[in-house]
Amino acid sequence: FGGRSVIIRVDPGHGRGHHQHVKTAGIQSKFGVWPTELDELLETTKDIGCTVVGLHAHAGSGILTPENWQQTALFLASLAHRFPEVKVLNLGGGLGVPEKPGECGLDLDDFDSLLVAFRQAHPQFELWLEPGRYLVANAGVLLARVTQLKQKGEVTYVGIDTGMNSLIRPALYGSFHHIVNLSRLDEPATMVAHIVGPICESGDTLGYGRHIAPAQEGDVLLLATAGAYGRVMSSNYNLREPAKEVYLATQK
C-alpha cells in the first residue's frame, strides 16, 4: 500500500439489522478496525507511506431508522482529525426495504434532512452511501410453480419447483419475502401453509405459515423483493439449477 490513497473501515461499536448475520459491526463482527487501535493504525500508515483519504463504517442491513446514518457520520467525523487528509466519509449501506404488507419504509425526507444538516455543519467532507439493495430489491421477483401439496397433521406444505438454490435469504437469515398465489389473485388468502422447495434440507423453506389463495399443482407463486441477493447468491446445490433470469424493460 505504499504510495497509495486508502479508505479505512472503522467499527462503530454496535451493529444493526434484521438478523445477527447481517449486523456488520460490534465486537461479534469480523469487520472494521476497532477505534482503540486507530493510533497504532495511524503509525502503520506513516511507516508504509500510504495516505488515508477516507473513513468508512457500515452497521448492518435492513435498517429503517434514518438516525443510523446521521450517527455514523458523526462518529466518523469525530475520528477524522487523526487523519488530516480525510475528505470522504463513507456511511455504508443497509437502507431497509419494507418486506411485509403495511410495513413502513425508510423515511427518505427525514434521511435527507439529517444528512443535509450534517453536511452544512461539516462542509469539508464528501458523504458516500451504498444503497444497493434499496435500489433493486423491489425490481425483481421469484416465480415458482407448485409441484405438490402435502398435509402432515395440522400442517400444510406447498412444494414448489425451486428453493434455497434460487433464493437463500430465508434459510440463511430468516428474511421475509411476501408470497402470493399469482394464479389466483382474485381469490381470498384462506390457505395457511409452509412454502417449501425441493432441496434435501428442512431449512429449504421460503415461508412458514403463509396465508395464500388455496394452491393447486401447476399454480405459480410469486415471492416478492427478490431483486437483490437472489441470483447472485444462488447455486446448483443438489444438482438443481437456480431459476432463470428474465429481464423486462419498457421502451419509451
pLDDT one-digit tens code per residue, 76-124: 999 999 999 999 999 999 999 998 888 889 999 999 999 999 999 999 9
In this predicted model, what pLDDT tens digit does every residue of 53-66 receive, in sequence order? 999 999 888 889 99
Residue 111 belongs to domain spanning: 5-136
Annotated catalytic residue within 2, 120, 186, 200: 200
Could you say which of 91, 119, 136 is where a domain stops? 136
Of residues 234 and 12, more confidence is placed in 234
* 24/213 Cα distance (integer angstroms): 38
Quickly state the pLDDT bin for 19 (edges 50, 70, 90): low
Give the model's pLDDT for residue 240.
97
Position 17 pLDDT exceeds 70: no
All cell numbers assigned to 71: 450517527
Residue 214 makes CB contacts below 8 A (sequence gap 6+) with 181, 184, 187, 190, 191
Looking at the structure, do residues 9 and 94 belong to the same domain, yes or no? yes
Residue 153 included in any domain: yes
Looking at the structure, do residues 126 and 198 belong to the same domain, yes or no? no
Looking at the structure, do residues 159 and 220 belong to the same domain, yes or no? yes
Residue 112 included in any domain: yes
Taking a C-beta distance cutoff of 8 angstroms, is the pair 67, 95 a contact? no
Residue 196 included in any domain: yes
Residue 116 included in any domain: yes
Quickly state the pLDDT bin for 4 (edges 50, 70, 90): very high
Give the model's pLDDT for residue 120.
97
Looking at the structure, do residues 130 and 189 belong to the same domain, yes or no? no
Looking at the structure, do residues 128 and 153 belong to the same domain, yes or no? no
Residue 114 included in any domain: yes
Could you say which of 136, 151, 170 is where a domain stops? 136
Q: Is 50 a catalytic residue?
A: no
State how many domains the chain has.
Answer: 2
Give the model's pLDDT for residue 18.
65
Residue 245 included in any domain: no
Looking at the structure, do residues 231 and 160 belong to the same domain, yes or no? yes
Looking at the structure, do residues 115 and 73 belong to the same domain, yes or no? yes
Looking at the structure, do residues 150 and 120 belong to the same domain, yes or no? no
Give the model's pLDDT for residue 86.
97
Could you say which of 75, 106, 136 is where a domain stops? 136
Residue 244 included in any domain: no
CA of 144: how far to CAs of 90, 159, 161, in Å? 38, 10, 6
Looking at the structure, do residues 117 and 207 belong to the same domain, yes or no? no
In this predicted model, what pLDDT tens digit does every residue of 146-175 receive, in sequence order? 999 999 999 999 999 999 999 999 999 899
Taking a C-beta distance cutoff of 8 angstroms, is the pair 189, 174 a contact? no
In this predicted model, what pLDDT tens digit does every residue of 173-227 receive, in sequence order? 899 999 999 999 999 999 999 999 999 999 999 999 999 999 999 999 999 999 9
Position 43 pLDDT exceeds 80: yes
- Number of Cβ within 10 Å of residue 36's Cβ equals 7
